[in-house]
């Protein structure tokens, strides 16, 4: 009986170690901190199996807003980060959490709203559109989650000359959620919202919402990829993480990104090695 008891105790301790094992325990997997737009658009479901089949490396994606994804990488909770907020990415590199940033792809933001367009923004440039939204106090949904999209929205208000803190009221709904849930809220409220085009194209619950503002150069939305600096976090899987980055920016990875379409329309456009707008 004592033998059995000791055996069960040993098994319990081993199980405890397994439960408490670090994220990086599997040498053939990496953790990528990325955005809800890349995950909810379906891009990762398309490209990651191709990378796994070629390399044998499994990619575990943690989908967060860009700000949260960068914070996770700062803590050493990811090997690679793939996000879309260029000022925040440049700061991440300047702080020494990555040694370099590489362009991967781009799409653009769109302003979505009810087809009836009570604010009258259809076809306007983004600055005019945001001024009208503030003047008319039309229902607007903000992600409010420190994501790349949220940062782009805040820049749009500022560039439109709007002091958001002074004017926002019940018409401005800050949901603190990812792109998909935020779009669901906008659909339910028949409200305006800034969305990345990729998530919008894959979004099914549109209700009366439609694209009203697009094509403004200010809505350009580049994505960058970075290997977390192992000098900051020695647990980073440098070899495997760099293999993922190298594949993403290779002709094969860039083709995989370009080939991801919904209804014949591309959600992202490869940009590795190209001059940024």
CB-based contact 79:30 (threshold 8 Å): yes
Asked if residue 9 has pLDDT above 50, the reply is: no
- What domains does the chain contain, in order, with CATH numbers? 26-106+222-270 (3.40.190.10), 107-219 (3.40.190.10)
Asked if residue 7 has pLDDT above 50, the reply is: no
Q: What is the pLDDT of residue 273?
A: 83
Asked if residue 277 has pLDDT above 60, the reply is: no
* Average pLDDT of the segment spanning 159-179: 95
CB-based contact 171:140 (threshold 8 Å): yes
Altogether, the residues listed in the chain come to a count of 277
Asked if residue 86 has pLDDT above 90, the reply is: yes
Q: What is the pLDDT of residues 11-41, one digit of tens each?
A: 333 333 333 334 444 559 999 999 988 998 9
Q: What is the pLDDT of residues 191-245, one digit of tens each?
A: 999 999 999 999 999 999 999 999 999 999 999 999 999 999 999 999 999 999 9
Distance of CA 266 to the CA centre of its chain: 17
Burial, 113: exposed, middle or buried (Cβ in 10 Å; 0-12, 13-18, 19+)? buried
Burial 86-104 (b: 16+ CB within 10 A, else e): bebbeebeeeebbeebbbb
Q: Model confidence at 275, in pLDDT bands (50, 70, 90)?
A: low
Rounded to whole angstroms, how far apart are CA atoms 71 and 66?
9
Asked if residue 44 has pLDDT above 90, the reply is: yes
Structure tokens given for 31: 């953790």
Asked if residue 5 has pLDDT above 50, the reply is: no
- How much is the mean pLDDT over the chain? 90
């Amino acid at each position: 009986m004592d033998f059995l008891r000791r055996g069960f105790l040993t098994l319990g301790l081993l199980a405890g170690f397994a439960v408490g094992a670090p994220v990086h325990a599997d040498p053939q997997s990496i953790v990528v901190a990325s955005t809800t737009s890349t995950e909810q658009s379906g891009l990762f479901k398309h490209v990651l199996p191709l990378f796994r089949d070629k390399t044998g490396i499994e990619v575990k994606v943690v989908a967060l807003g860009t700000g949260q994804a960068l914070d996770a990488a700062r803590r050493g909770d990811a090997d690679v980060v793939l996000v879309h907020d260029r000022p925040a990415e440049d700061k991440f590199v300047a702080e020494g959490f990555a040694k370099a940033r590489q362009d991967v792809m781009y799409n653009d933001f769109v302003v979505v709203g009810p087809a009836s367009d009570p604010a009258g923004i259809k076809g306007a440039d983004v600055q005019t559109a945001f001024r009208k939204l503030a003047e008319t106090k039309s229902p607007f949904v903000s992600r409010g989650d420190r994501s790349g999209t949220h940062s782009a929205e805040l820049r749009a208000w500022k560039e439109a000359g709007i002091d958001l803190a002074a004017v926002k009221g019940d018409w401005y709904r800050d949901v603190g959620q990812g792109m998909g849930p935020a779009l669901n809220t906008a659909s339910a409220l028949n409200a305006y919202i800034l969305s990345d085009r990729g998530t919008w194209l894959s979004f099914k619950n549109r209700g009366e919402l439609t694209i009203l503002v697009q094509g403004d150069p200010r809505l350009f939305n580049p994505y960058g990829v970075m290997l977390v600096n192992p000098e900051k976090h020695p647990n980073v899987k440098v070899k495997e993480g760099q293999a993922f980055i190298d594949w993403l920016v290779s002709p094969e990875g860039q083709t995989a990104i370009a080939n991801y379409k919904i209804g014949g329309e591309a959600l992202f456009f490869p940009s590795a090695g190209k001059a940024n707008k």
